[in-house]
Amino acid sequence: MFEAAELGHEVDDESYERREAELREKLLAAQVELLQRKEFELVVVVDGLDFAGRSETVNKLHEWLDPRQIETRAFDEPTDVEREKPRMWRYWNALPPKGKLGIIFGGWYSDPLDGRFARELDEDAMDALLADAVKFERMLAHEGALVLKFWFHMPEHRQRKRLKKLEKDPLTRWRVSDVERDHLKHYGRYTRTAEHLIRETDSAEAPWSIVEGSDDNFRNLTVGEQLLTALRARLDAKKTPPTAETVELNTPIDGVEVLDKLDLTRTLDKKDYERDLLIWQGRLHEVLRSHHFKKRHALVAVFEGNDAAGKGGAIRRVTQALDARQYEIVPIAAPTDEERAHPYLWRFWRRLPRRGELTVFDRSWYGRVLVERVEEFTARQDWLRAYGEINDFEEQLSSHGVITVKFWLAVSQDEQLARFKERESTPWKNFKITDEDWRNREKWGAYAAAVNDMVERTSSDVAPWTLVEAEDKRYARVKVLRTLVEAVERRLE
């Protein structure tokens, strides 16, 4: 795999200066166009052997381009906050917005590479992390990002020569540590591990380019010209309509869906409600204060449902049981300009709880397959692929110890109408009813179909849906509390 990067490529200084001037002008023009159009972001991952020129090349890109429009991130050992979040959290937060260039040193490849080389991971564990990387990059590409990856390589004898040169100079001696010495000592094993990584993660959506790092001029021009070629091709590509999806979602031949089986007549009388509310609030308070939960877990509660189904009231009964410092309520509305400039899951990754905490999402990432689907804000192929991306997201949360509990609060059309009218006639409830609520009623059937598909395709062992019969608010609130407590207790066991 690395044969072509060990040929000893060189570019003389005169040729370099001439080509650099032209390349620099074209790269800057492309960067300006990228910023002006703000149609996609450019994500560049740089990795490779020690002393093969990664930092020098990135510094050169900062010199050639407008550095104010470049976001460069490197990752050391995770901070305490990062350790309490799922592994990919810090990489999601490093993504640039549309119109900018993000340069990532190592990034999501550092853990599998270093872990496998240190024999802390076996090959299966490494491949699992690499599979996560492939899914992540595929999602970025589908969301419009241009993803490029550069692996910097050099032959063993050249790396050894460069290491010795750095060690001799007092000004550069600090760059050589036992880590670099160990990599060089086991050069063959390290490069074999890297070869496996590249082979498993090279894809059409995010291809690897292997760059020989022995000659500075050759290395800089290679990266710069490949970057320009890929960026220019994307900027010059003619826009074409999205490919029509031929896949149809399954509909039962008898027309009976999961929502049809809900018994909306379920009720709870006031006396039983007051007793059960105190019982389950007390148990929720107790379980979320347990040592095991606070040290190893976090809780995410997702509330979706028909308009006026009582999400707000159910959420208040949950938070009444807790210390305000232990939870956060995240209301989800239409995305802001900043959020639109990133992949749609970005704004949810940013709001995940730390260990021992609860985050309540009032509406959530399921807007992609509900309102965005029904209102045609998102192309069909985009909300279809979102099912898999959401399942992968929730699986990553579970792997990190985050307990995800999802509620759909359901009411009948008649009950919803009665609640709408009550809101209109009650002064302190007027703010809850909008023209959009009335418009959504006209699309009841379309929303019901979207909900049934959502439940079928995203209810999993790690994050099952709980359908809540919410015609009676007392019954719904107790069911929500009981479900949360039981979900946490099962995980703690």
Name the DSSP class of 401.
Answer: T
Q: What is the pLDDT of residues 92-126, one digit of tens each?
A: 999 999 999 999 999 999 999 999 999 999 999 99
Residue with tokens 């990034």: 107
Residue 213 has pLDDT above 90, yes or no: yes
Q: What pLDDT band is residue 238 in, cutting at 50, 70 and 90?
A: low
Q: Which two tokens stand for residue 220?
A: 């800089």
Q: Specify the DSSP element, H or E, that contains 312.
A: helix 311-319
Residue 42 has pLDDT above 60, yes or no: yes
Question: Cα–Cα–Cα angle for 146, 148, 152, nearest 5°?
Answer: 170
Q: What pLDDT band is residue 251 in, cutting at 50, 70 and 90?
A: low
Residue 449 has pLDDT above 80, yes or no: yes
DSSP characters over 187-205: HHHHHHHHHHHHHHH--SS
User: Helices (DSSP H) in 38-109: which residue ranges?
Assistant: 54-64, 80-83, 89-92
pLDDT of amino acid 241: 45
Return the closest-CA partner of residue 305 out of 249, 350, 364, 360. 364
Give me the chain's average pLDDT, please. 92
Q: Which two tokens stand for residue 470?
A: 């919410």
> What's the mean pLDDT in 247-260?
64
Residue 244 has pLDDT above 60, yes or no: no
Cα(38)–Cα(347) distance, integer angstroms: 18
pLDDT of amino acid 440: 83
Residue 243 has pLDDT above 70, yes or no: no
DSSP characters over 318-330: HHTTS-GGGEEEE
Q: How many other CB atoms are there within 10 angstroms of residue 251's CB atom?
A: 11
Instruction: Confirm if 329 and 360 have CB atoms less than 8 A apart.
Output: yes
Residue with tokens 């095991």: 292
Q: What is the pLDDT of residues 324-371, one digit of tens each?
A: 999 999 999 999 999 999 999 999 999 999 999 999 999 999 999 999
> What's the mean pLDDT in 158-178?
89
% residues pLDDT > 70 (the chain): 96
Q: What is the pTM of this model?
A: 0.85
pLDDT of amino acid 250: 55
Cα(212)–Cα(396) distance, integer angstroms: 35
Instruction: Confirm if 269 and 473 have CB atoms less than 8 A apart.
Output: no
pLDDT of amino acid 252: 59
Cα(136)–Cα(393) distance, integer angstroms: 10
Name the DSSP class of 443.
Answer: T
